[in-house]
């Protein structure tokens, strides 16, 4: 046997010593940037389902690391779930209970005075929902949907790193991050070009459906056409059940939880449609051709309504009556006043 050859596979003693001496050493900002490099690498070319899975997981992890790295630069206690109970030893050991991503954004805005607009917050929130669905319930999303979501978050993070993190690092910390950023930017440009090219190619196809086109909960593009079937022209996601599509749209896109509203006794963002009776009428849908305040749109029959009111008898939604009509649905009109 050769002098340096081991009996368990040929690994030399020096190799084993090198392995024992090596250690994981990723400062927070470098760690976050490394996550992003992994994301854009997996999304480049023709990503496999496994690539898409880990792109979502790594992007969410990288986002949390980078947001909280900026909080630490402001003050280490701000990453604790309850800063009043912050403990230096726990922070040093990494055994702390840290704040949520939403809390991190609020603290960055109101304590560190970092500008994070609503569009960026929405992209980060949508990503978190996608990651939770993937982690806990399983998830079926197209490559286009994942790439579109990722492009929005990556666009924000690249500016965030450059503007709010790198200036606070010394040269030893900053150089390896900047090296990674060169590769990340190159790959992000490819993803953004793919998304924009596909959107531009859909303009003519979407034009006839402006009044029934809304933002897709999966890919966050204004390309979900309400019809038969309910289908996104960008990412090809389809919904079989109108109620499920309406509730998912209200929750993910509008931030309105139907179940929570009912539980709390608040008005539901999704109601029964006056025409088809499906529980799939979104009261304030943001359509491509609608008013900024929102349009009542049924995800069941695809009808876009004008002004609506609640029937004074049963409380169901009805079209606003004319000046000489009664504020009741047909059933309540008959029950209250007889056959008119």
pLDDT at 242 over 80: yes
Q: Which residue has the higher pLDDT, 175 or 194?
A: 175
| Residue owning tokens 């088809």 | 276
Can the peptide bond before residue 229 be classed as cis, meaning omega within 30 degrees of 0?
Answer: yes
Domain positions in the chain: 28-203, 209-337
Pairing between strand 270-272 and 308-310? unpaired
pLDDT the model gives residue 9? 45
- Confidence (pLDDT) at 210: 92
pLDDT digits (tens, 9 = 90+) for 176-196: 999 999 999 989 988 888 888
- The sign of the CA dihedral 153, 64, 105, 135 is positive
Q: What was the pLDDT predicted at 4?
A: 41
When pLDDT is averaged across residues 1-17 and rounded to a whole number, the result is 47
- Check: CB of residue 235 under 8 Å from CB of residue 145: yes
3 and 13 in contact (C-beta within 8 Å)?
no
The residue count for the chain: 340
Dist CA 239 CA 192 (whole Å): 26
Interval 270-294: pLDDT, tens: 999 988 999 999 999 999 987 777 8
Give the list of residues 6+ apart from residue 158 with CB closer than 8 angstroms, or none.
181, 184, 185, 188
Cα angle vertex 62, ends 61, 67, to 5°?
105
pTM: 0.72
Q: Do 53 and 134 touch, CB atoms closer than 8 A?
A: yes
Question: Helices marked H in 249-291 — which ranges?
Answer: 258-264
């Amino acid at each position: 046997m050769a002098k340096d050859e081991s009996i368990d596979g040929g690994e030399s003693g020096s190799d084993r010593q090198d392995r024992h001496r090596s250690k994981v050493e990723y400062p927070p900002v470098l760690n976050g940037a490394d996550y992003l490099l992994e994301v854009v690498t997996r999304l480049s070319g023709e990503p496999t389902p496994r690539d898409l899975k880990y792109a979502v997981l790594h992007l969410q992890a990288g986002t949390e690391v980078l947001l909280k790295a900026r909080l630490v630069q402001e003050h280490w206690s701000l990453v604790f779930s309850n800063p009043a109970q912050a403990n230096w030893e726990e922070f040093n050991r990494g055994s702390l209970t840290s704040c949520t991503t939403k809390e991190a954004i609020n603290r960055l805005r109101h304590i560190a005075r970092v500008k994070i607009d609503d569009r960026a917050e929405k992209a980060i929130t949508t990503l978190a929902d996608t990651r939770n669905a993937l982690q806990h319930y399983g998830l079926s999303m197209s490559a286009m949907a994942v790439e579109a979501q990722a492009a929005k978050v990556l666009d924000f993070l690249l500016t965030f790193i450059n503007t709010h993190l790198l200036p606070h690092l010394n040269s030893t910390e900053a150089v390896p991050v900047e090296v990674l950023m060169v590769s990340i930017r190159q790959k992000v440009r490819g993803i953004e070009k793919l998304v924009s090219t596909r959107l531009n190619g859909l303009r003519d196809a979407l034009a006839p459906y402006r009044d029934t086109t809304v933002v897709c909960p999966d890919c966050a593009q204004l390309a979900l056409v309400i019809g038969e079937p309910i289908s996104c022209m960008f990412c090809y996601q389809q919904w079989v059940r109108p109620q499920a599509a309406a509730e998912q749209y209200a929750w993910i896109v509008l931030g309105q939880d139907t179940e929570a509203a009912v539980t709390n006794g608040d008005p539901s963002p999704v109601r029964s449609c006056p025409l088809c009776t499906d529980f799939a009428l979104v009261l304030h849908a943001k359509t491509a051709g609608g008013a900024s305040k929102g349009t009542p749109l049924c995800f069941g029959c695809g009808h876009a309504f004008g002004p609506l009111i609640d029937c004074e008898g049963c409380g169901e939604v009805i079209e606003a009556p004319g000046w000489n009509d009664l504020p009741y649905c047909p059933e309540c009109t008959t029950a209250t006043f007889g056959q008119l």
